């Protein structure tokens, strides 16, 4: 089976062509600067050289058309005919309370995704554009939606409700939804395999640390809490997002700095976090380069790891213990300093790192706890596209088959 995985952003389309039966990508790439001058397509067929093409790409439909043409091209292609694409899997950021699993997209699903635009105004509209374009360009090919929020739908009500008037939950859906669900699900499933014990015996804390970061408490295979909330702004310190803060600060700053709601949103999402504290960069590599020489870089790093440590401690408390801590994402997979500092002092819950193993640079899944550690610690590269392709295959294969006249058989 061949699945085209699409992750459509406001001005970009990321794609992968994956055979989920053998868990292998045939090609991946990205179209950037859609609707701007000098759009670029970067395409990498597996095992062959990367190609970069530029041109004018006015909208998402043109972008996906461009992707299809390179997938079919003589020199850089990986398929001979569009008909080889059996299904399309779409990353959809917000599925609200409607979706606790991936789903075959039909009109009802589309209108539910549309309804969730209020919750994710920057993400769901381009996701919908991607789905519409793929439906037009690949008619009769099943399209599956895989939601960032779905995995966290198992959270109990006391974990997802805020201390606000209950009517706001009922009227406007104000609650914790959580994000990065595809990644938390993938790495926790891999952790269960690496560990060897049954899933329904394990308490796992997964830390997805990248430009956006979140932690999740996964008890017996289900997410019971996660650090991102109503939007991806809550929780850990992030590249440019503030994470947790006293909500009164926002009102105070809006008043003192004379900010509109839009300006305040931009400040919290684009100018805060590691970038805002350090004044240097949102990029953890650059922060670590300056860690010894710049007080503000060290401060940003320290806030990041201190906050992560607090989440790990609180999730261990929430689950009544922890068996495995997992690190993933660009920072989680690559920064030994973040892992070391975040886990320092957690010996009291049974977590002890092997510093040598922690310092090894590798792209492979690995365990980095000491011999005596009661808690295991895994570094697991995430693969959200593979999850989307696997889910797409599962959903498509479990649909009732139709005969030629279109009736279910
Ligand atoms: P992601 O959003 O998952 O792609 O992660 C991006 C983040 O990972 C950026 O902050 C990068 O600086 C960070 N990152 C990537 N490689 C390293 C590394 N070797 N050491 C520290 N941070 C890294």
The residue contributing the CA closest to ligand 1 atom 18 is 334
In what order do the strands lie in the sheet containing 24-32?
A: 51-55, 39-45, 24-32, 13-19, 3-8, 87-92, 143-147, 103-104
Q: How confident is the model at residue 399 (pLDDT cuts 50, 70, 90)?
A: confident
The preferred substitution site among 210, 305, 340, 359 for testing ligand 1, maximizing ligand atoms within 8 Å of CB, is 210
User: Does 329 sit in the ligand 1 pocket, CB within 6 Å?
Assistant: yes
Active site residue 148: yes
Name which of 51, 46, 53, 40 is nearest 17 in CA terms: 46
Q: Which two tokens stand for residue 12?
A: 């970009």
Q: Report helix, strand or coil for 40.
A: strand
Q: How confident is the model at residue 92 (pLDDT cuts 50, 70, 90)?
A: very high
Spatial distance between the Cα atoms of 331 and 135, rounded to a whole number of angstroms: 36
Q: Report helix, strand or coil for 218.
A: strand
**How many whole angstroms from 284 Cα to the centroid of ligand 1?**
6
The residue contributing the CA closest to ligand 1 atom 9 is 283
Q: Report helix, strand or coil for 188.
A: helix
Assess whether pLDDT exceeds 70 at residue 46: yes
The preferred substitution site among 9, 209, 285, 338 for testing ligand 1, maximizing ligand atoms within 8 Å of CB, is 285
Residue 119 pLDDT: 87
Assess whether pLDDT exceeds 90 at residue 7: yes
Residue 372 pLDDT: 96
User: Does 239 sit in the ligand 1 pocket, CB within 6 Å?
Assistant: yes
Assess whether pLDDT exceeds 90 at residue 401: no
Measure Cα distances from 160 to 93, 101, 163, 173, 241 in Å.
Answer: 18, 18, 10, 11, 21
Q: How many CB atoms lie within 10 A of CB 295?
A: 9
Burial class (CB in 10 A: 0-12, 13-18, 19+), 106: exposed
**How many whole angstroms from 286 Cα to the centroid of ligand 1?**
9
Model pLDDT for residues 190-245, shown as the tens digit of each residue: 999 999 999 999 999 999 999 999 999 999 999 999 999 999 999 999 999 999 99
* CB-based contact 288:256 (threshold 8 Å): no
The preferred substitution site among 9, 30, 331 for testing ligand 1, maximizing ligand atoms within 8 Å of CB, is 331
**How many whole angstroms from 365 Cα to the centroid of ligand 1?**
17
Strand boundaries in 244-375, DSSP class E: 324-328, 366-367
Rg (CA), the chain: 22
The pLDDT mean for the chain works out to 96
Q: Which atom of ligand 1 is nearest to the CA of 382?
A: 3
**How many whole angstroms from 187 Cα to the centroid of ligand 1?**
17
Which residue intervals of the chain bear CATH 3.30.420.40?
A: 3-147, 198-384
Domain with residues 198-384, CATH architecture:
2-Layer Sandwich (3.30)
Q: Encode 181-197: b = buried (16+ Cβ within 10 Å), e = exposed.
A: bbbbbbbbbbbbeebee
**How many whole angstroms from 210 Cα to the centroid of ligand 1?**
6
User: Does 271 sit in the ligand 1 pocket, CB within 6 Å?
Assistant: no
User: Does 381 sit in the ligand 1 pocket, CB within 6 Å?
Assistant: no
User: Does 237 sit in the ligand 1 pocket, CB within 6 Å?
Assistant: no
**How many whole angstroms from 332 Cα to the centroid of ligand 1?**
8
The preferred substitution site among 284, 287, 332 for testing ligand 1, maximizing ligand atoms within 8 Å of CB, is 284
User: Does 334 sit in the ligand 1 pocket, CB within 6 Å?
Assistant: yes
User: Does 296 sit in the ligand 1 pocket, CB within 6 Å?
Assistant: no
Average pLDDT over residues 345-357: 98
Spatial distance between the Cα atoms of 181 and 92, rounded to a whole number of angstroms: 11
User: Does 210 sit in the ligand 1 pocket, CB within 6 Å?
Assistant: yes
**How many whole angstroms from 204 Cα to the centroid of ligand 1?**
23
Q: Which atom of ligand 1 is nearest to the CA of 288?
A: 21
Assess whether pLDDT exceeds 80 at residue 268: yes
Identify the CATH number of the domain defined by range 3-147: 3.30.420.40
Q: Which atom of ligand 1 is nearest to the CA of 282?
A: 10
Phi, psi angles (nearest 5°) of residue 242: -70, -35
Model pLDDT for residues 143-166, shown as the tens digit of each residue: 999 999 999 999 999 999 999 999
Secondary element (H or E) of residue 215: strand 213-219
Average pLDDT over residues 3-9: 97
Residue 402 pLDDT: 63
High-pLDDT (> 90) share of the chain, % = 95
Catalytic residue among 101, 106, 118, 148: 148
Assess whether pLDDT exceeds 90 at residue 322: yes
**How many whole angstroms from 14 Cα to the centroid of ligand 1?**
18
Q: Which two tokens stand for residue 203?
A: 């308490």
What is this structure's pTM?
A: 0.94
Residue pointed to by tokens 């640079």: 361
């Amino acid at each position: 089976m061949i699945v085209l995985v699409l992750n459509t952003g406001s001005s970009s389309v990321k794609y992968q062509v994956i055979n989920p039966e053998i868990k292998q990508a045939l090609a991946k790439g990205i179209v950037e600067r859609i609707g701007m001058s000098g759009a670029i397509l970067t395409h990498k067929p597996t095992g062959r050289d990367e190609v970069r093409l530029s041109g004018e790409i006015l909208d998402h439909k043109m972008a996906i058309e461009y992707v299809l043409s390179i997938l079919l091209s003589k020199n850089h292609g990986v398929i001979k005919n569009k008909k080889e694409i059996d299904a399309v899997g779409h990353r959809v950021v917000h599925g609200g309370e409607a979706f606790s699993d991936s789903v075959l997209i039909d009109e009802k699903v589309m209108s539910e995704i549309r309804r969730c635009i209020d919750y994710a105004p920057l993400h769901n509209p381009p996701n919908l554009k991607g789905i519409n374009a793929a439906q037009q360009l690949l008619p009769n090919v099943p399209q599956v939606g895989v939601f960032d929020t779905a995995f966290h739908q198992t959270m109990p009500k006391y974990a997802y409700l805020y201390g606000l008037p209950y009517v706001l939950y009922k009227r406007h859906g104000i609650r914790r939804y959580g994000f990065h669900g595809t990644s938390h699900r993938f790495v926790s499933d891999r952790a269960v395999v690496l560990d060897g014990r049954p899933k329904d015996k394990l308490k796992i804390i997964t830390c997805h640390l990248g430009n956006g970061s979140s932690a999740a408490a996964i008890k017996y295979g289900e997410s019971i809490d996660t650090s991102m909330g109503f939007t991806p702004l809550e929780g850990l310190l992030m590249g440019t997002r503030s994470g947790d803060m006293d909500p009164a600060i926002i009102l105070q700053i809006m008043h003192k700095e004379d900010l509109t709601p839009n300006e305040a949103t931009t400040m919290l999402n684009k100018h805060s976090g590691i970038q805002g504290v350090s004044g240097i960069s949102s990029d953890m590599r650059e922060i670590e380069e300056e860690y010894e020489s710049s007080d503000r870089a060290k401060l940003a790093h320290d806030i990041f790891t201190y906050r992560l440590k607090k989440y790990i401690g609180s999730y261990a408390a929430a689950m009544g213990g922890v068996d495995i801590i997992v690190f993933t994402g660009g920072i989680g997979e690559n920064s030994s300093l973040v892992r070391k500092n975040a886990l320092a002092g957690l010996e009291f819950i049974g977590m002890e790192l092997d510093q040598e193993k922690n310092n090894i640079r590798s792209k492979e899944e690995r365990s980095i706890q000491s011999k005596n550690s009661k808690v295991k610690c895994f570094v697991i590269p995430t693969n959200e596209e593979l999850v989307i392709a696997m889910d797409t295959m599962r959903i498509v294969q479990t649909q009732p088959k139709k005969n030629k006249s279109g009736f279910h058989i």
